[in-house]
Amino acid sequence: MNRKEFRDLATPDEARAAIDSLSLEGGVERVALEDARGRVLVARLDAELDVPGFDRASLDGYALRARDTFGVDEADPARLEIVGEVHAGAKPDVALEEGQAAEISTGAVMPDGADAMVPVERTDTEADGNEVLIRTSVAPGDNVMFAGADVAAGERALGPGTTITPRDIGLLSALGIDEVPVRAKPTVGIVSTGDELVRPGEALESDRGEIYDVNSYTIAAGVEDSGGEAVLYPHAGDEQAEMEEILRTAADECDLVLSSGSTSASAVDVIYRVIEEQGELLLHGVSIKPGKPMLIGRLDDSAYVGLPGYPVSAMMVFRTFVAPAIREAAGVPEPAAATVSGRLARQERYEEGRHRLMPVGLVESGDGETLVYPVDKGSGATTSLADADGLVEVGPETDYLEKGEPVTVTLFSPDVRPPTLFAVGEDDPTFSRLLDSLENPRYLSVGSRPGLRRLRDGVPDAAVVAGPVEPDFEAVELGRWKREWGLVVPAGNPAELEGLADLVDRDLRFINRTTDSGLRSSLGASVADLADERGVDRHDIVDAIDGFDLGLRAHESPARKVIAGDADAGLGLRETADRLDLGFVPLGEQPVCVLANPDRTEKEGVRELEAALADVSSAQR
């Protein structure tokens, strides 16, 4: 099979023009009034009746002829004969003459002969109930809403292009309109490709390389948010015949088909061949990062866009190119411009010569200035967008951004606000629970050493550091506690491990943590002690432990390997072993310290953190 190569990459503007050439409109439909909120009118609606359709009282009181109150005041009230009552929803059965009044309810029809009404609080009723004293004068029309005062028959009510709000539904209800003509939502078929994909909720076989299907659900949410109607199809494998069948079904039923994956220049990526053979391929490859492997074309009578498979790339391409086209087809206006100006918290290098969409997070400095830091774990990391607040666009001519350089952030939504606390560092269960008590924190689990580096660079508010790792710069300690660390083993400790020496002297499989972890630092110190005790080089101890160099990032990952039977022991915490019903061989206690940026100690979020840490520290005393 020949490999498809990216040769002449299109520019972002060319990609937008290609999508604009596609027709995504879904036509017109009539929807019931109760389903009309948020839909877009396609035709003007005029009032076919007066609202209200009659002269009505604005208050509870007495309907009368205004001339009977001229010159009246508290000292000299008018005495009028009560000739009847008029209630809301009832046709008046009285007609007023000179010197007469009728008791009337709010919203009731004004009786013949009446041209005004007086609120009940400005009147007194005589004991016999046959007369009323009017203690104020009124002019014709006072306290009366005349027919058509709200909306007059023939008047323009709502125009085409109106996005129907609850207020508009109130108006349409008043006009008696029970259904409205609106733009049909463009239907968007979503097909994720790849034999490795499994729907969330189904069993996952990681040893086969299976992963949960992230893109189908995130893209569907983006489609709905943009005004479209998402239709999820079964994911397609990597065989061309299967992929063609699913794509053609989606094309028959939808205005736009979005696929994710199988768009890069790989021998198994055949989706572009389906489009070339069964439709028209307009574009393959865009000079943008992330998102280079992008397809645009037509399949039968449907528009088609192929998104990259990595979640970050897929969502960036969708947000930048596809969502605006769906909004235009649906008649949904572009969201209000949501941008924030700030300064880059650290330098950023970039030398690939492509237009870049850089996910970034926001944090406030000690003096309230907005700092912007890149959030980039790679296109395959689903948390890159979850941990970001927006994006910064960097032109292809820019290969270096200096720390402190002003940048403009396009927020993912207008209501995005910087976290009250931004912390980084060691993955620790005690700190995770502590975060639950804070208002709006953000925590990036990057390990103790990277956490210290980022704190030294002045990016986060605080860093969590575990083990024998000390800062070589000024930092403020907010609090500390201890945790027990050691070897997590199967329940019952079937191998009867007693300590680190067993890993050296016996044929046992071990799973370590990465060098960024504080646990790895404590283990390294214990290895050095054992080497000194035996009078050998540290590397001899390391080489004797099967799996010492295999380090996993998360604090529970080694324990999970033990559960799966892939290891006899893993580096971990007693708390982890207890929670997962595993055995534990203690190797020592480890301090965990929370350090703050000296310039941020007065931030409300940092002070809230310090108060919470005081409770943790006192609980361990």
Bridge partners (DSSP) listed for residue 250: none
Query: 433 lies in a domain?
Result: no
Q: Do 90 and 42 have their domain in common?
A: no
Residue 494: cis peptide before it, omega within 30 degrees of 0: no
CA distance 513 to 493: 20
Let me know: does 593 contact 609? Beta carbons within 8 Å: no
Question: Between the CA of residue 188 and those of 185, 258, 309, 408, 466, what are the distances in Å?
Answer: 9, 7, 18, 32, 48
Give, for 277, the enclosing helix (H) or strand (E). Answer: helix 271-278
- Looking at this protein, which amino acid is placed at residue 245? E
CATH value at residue 37: 3.90.105.10
Percent of the chain residues topping a pLDDT of 70: 94
Question: Between the CA of residue 278 and those of 192, 239, 248, 269, 307, what are the distances in Å?
Answer: 19, 15, 9, 16, 18
Last residue of a domain, one of 330, 365, 393: 330
Phi, psi of 220 (to 5 degrees): -60, -40
Q: Do 308 and 216 have their domain in common?
A: yes
Q: Do 576 and 593 have their domain in common?
A: yes
C-beta neighbour count of 319 within 10 angstroms: 18
Q: Do 295 and 191 have their domain in common?
A: yes
CATH value at residue 576: 3.40.190.290
Q: Do 411 and 448 have their domain in common?
A: no
Last residue of a domain, one of 134, 168, 183: 183
State residue 571's pLDDT score.
Answer: 97
CA distance 261 to 130: 85
Residue 290: cis peptide before it, omega within 30 degrees of 0: yes
Phi, psi of 552 (to 5 degrees): -110, 150
Helix boundaries (H) for 331-390: 383-386
Helix boundaries (H) for 443-601: 448-456, 500-505, 518-534, 538-544, 557-564, 574-579
Question: Between the CA of residue 130 and those of 7, 61, 68, 582, 603, what are the distances in Å?
Answer: 96, 15, 17, 90, 72
Longest CA–CA span in the chain (Å) reads 121
CATH value at residue 399: 2.40.340.10
How open is the CA angle 264-268-270, to the nearest 5 degrees? 70
Phi, psi of 610 (to 5 degrees): -60, -40
State residue 462's pLDDT score.
Answer: 96
| 117-126 pLDDT per residue, tens | 999 999 998 8
Q: Do 476 and 607 have their domain in common?
A: yes
Residue 59 tokens read as 């208050």
CA distance 47 to 176: 9
Q: Do 463 and 316 have their domain in common?
A: no
Let me know: does 65 contact 83? Beta carbons within 8 Å: no
Q: Do 524 and 547 have their domain in common?
A: yes
Last residue of a domain, one of 355, 387, 418: 418
Q: Do 44 and 114 have their domain in common?
A: no
Query: 219 lies in a domain?
Result: yes
Q: Do 544 and 448 have their domain in common?
A: yes
Question: Between the CA of residue 251 and those of 276, 284, 307, what are the distances in Å?
Answer: 14, 19, 16
Contacts of 243 (CB under 8 A, 6+ apart): 193, 236, 237, 262, 270, 271, 274
10-residue block means of pLDDT along the chain (621 residues)? 57 92 87 91 86 91 96 92 94 95 95 96 86 95 89 85 90 90 93 80 79 86 93 82 88 93 58 83 87 87 89 88 92 78 88 82 91 73 72 86 91 84 93 91 91 94 91 93 96 96 96 92 94 95 93 89 94 96 96 95 94 77 55
CA 137 to chain CA mean position, Å: 59
C-beta neighbour count of 408 within 10 angstroms: 12
State residue 118's pLDDT score.
Answer: 97
Where does residue 209 fall: left (phi above 0), alpha (psi -120 to 50 degrees), or beta otherwise? left
CA distance 251 to 237: 17
CA 69 to chain CA mean position, Å: 62
| Cα dihedral value 168, 172, 175, 178, nearest 10 | -170
Q: Do 446 and 594 have their domain in common?
A: yes
CA distance 23 to 300: 12
Query: 427 lies in a domain?
Result: no
CA distance 123 to 79: 10
State residue 267's pLDDT score.
Answer: 39
Query: 428 lies in a domain?
Result: no
* Range(s) of the domain holding residue 405: 339-418
Which residue carries 């980039």 as its tokens? 376
- Looking at this protein, which amino acid is placed at residue 108? A
Query: 430 lies in a domain?
Result: no
Query: 431 lies in a domain?
Result: no
Q: Do 534 and 449 have their domain in common?
A: yes
CA 212 to chain CA mean position, Å: 19
Bridge partners (DSSP) listed for residue 101: 64, 82
Q: Structure pTM?
A: 0.72
CA distance 158 to 149: 17
DSSP assigned state of 333: P
| 19-30 pLDDT per residue, tens | 999 988 888 899
Let me know: does 558 contact 513? Beta carbons within 8 Å: yes
Bridge partners (DSSP) listed for residue 619: none
CA distance 148 to 45: 16
Domain count, the chain: 5
CA distance 471 to 458: 13
Residue 452 tokens read as 């210290």
Query: 66 lies in a domain?
Result: yes
Query: 3 lies in a domain?
Result: no
CA distance 365 to 549: 39
